[in-house]
Amino acid sequence: MTHSVNEPCPFHDDGFPIGMLGTCCSLRGKAAAYELEALGCVELGERMYDDMTCTQAASFAIELRNAADTLDRKYDGAVEKPHGAGYNGILNPTTHETVWSDYSTFEEAVDTIRDAARWYEKIGGMGFGVHAWY
């Protein structure tokens, strides 16, 4: 939490994805982690699960933004772009693997990464650290 119960949330109007049990100040970081992994930024995606100090969060925001910029440049003008993470997964009872029925688009995936960067930047700028809860 970044505020007391009787104060307005500084994240109220930001539109960040919040997990099922998340507070108003939280970020559903798994969404960005899945998108990063789907687009080949596995190490960065794994770091979404790390606790961070405010300084680390601010630095991580820069890394996330740089990754999104790099992906945009890499696929600028490409006819076919990679898709993002899968959703609406169904477990195959025979193979025990998840079969995805839909995927986010490249643009949706990069937007999710940019949203995470904005959240980390704001958290770090407010002087708060991050506790990864999943």
More confident residue, 98 or 105: 105
pLDDT (0 to 100) of residue 28: 83
3-class DSSP assignment, residue 90? strand
Report how far Cα 19 is from the mean position of its chain's Cα atoms: 11
What is the value of pTM for the model shown?
A: 0.86
pLDDT interval class at 25 (50, 70, 90): confident
Q: Can you give the residue ranges of every domain in the chain?
A: 29-125
Q: Is the pLDDT of residue 58 over 90?
A: yes
Q: Which residues pair with 130 in a beta bridge?
A: 52
